[in-house]
Amino acid sequence: MNNSVKLKDDTEVVIRSLVKDDLKKLLAFFQKLPVEEKAYLRRDVTDQSVVEQRIREMELNRVKRLVALYGDEIVADGALELEGHGWKEHVGEIRLIVAPAFRRKGLGMSMARELYFLATGEKLEEIVVKMMKPQVAAHNIFKRLGFREQATFPEYVKDRSGAKQDLVVMRCDLESMWRELEQFWEESDWHRTR
């Protein structure tokens, strides 16, 4: 997969699958994120061994990973984590982060759309997202995609500083997610001018 996408401001990016050779670029992407955002990431992705582990998980087919590149620089990272067996084999989990300079340009929605296509290819029926309560922007983005809050676990996880945070779990079936994505593309002036 290798899709060229023109954003709302006419910036062109390429969305493609993550490859092993992206290790240094991906590490640089995570290291450039604002400190306050890194505080809420599940793992310390500024550590090279953690990023290497993420690539190994992809090679074991536990997760599908996408990146968006502007030139030779990664500007967004997305993942579809797969259960693959048992009672949750129909459920996947999405993770998505966009560089601050590329937000509000449609890149997050473009990445979500590509993750949706990966989910349908895996024959998933539902998608889950998990985030910490202070991640209001992420909550709003996923709500816009049709996700609904299913549960909040008070003080269930710790952020990078060790402070306890509420964990919010949101869920969406793929059919509802597609309706929201279609509506976004149909209503967007940006989409009509492409």
pLDDT, one tens digit per residue, over 137-149 is: 888 888 888 889 9
Share of the chain above pLDDT 70, in %: 92
* Domain CATH code at residue 73: 3.40.630.30
Give the domain range for residue 92. 2-192
Closest by CA position to 188, among listed 5, 14, 2:
5
Give mean pLDDT, residues 21-30. 93
**What is the per-residue pLDDT across 28-85, written as a single tens digit (0 to 9) for each?**
999 999 888 888 888 888 888 988 888 888 887 889 999 999 999 999 999 999 877 7
- Counting the structural domains of the chain, the total is 1
What's the pTM value of the predicted model, to 2 decimals? 0.84
Closest by CA position to 133, among listed 25, 28, 40:
40
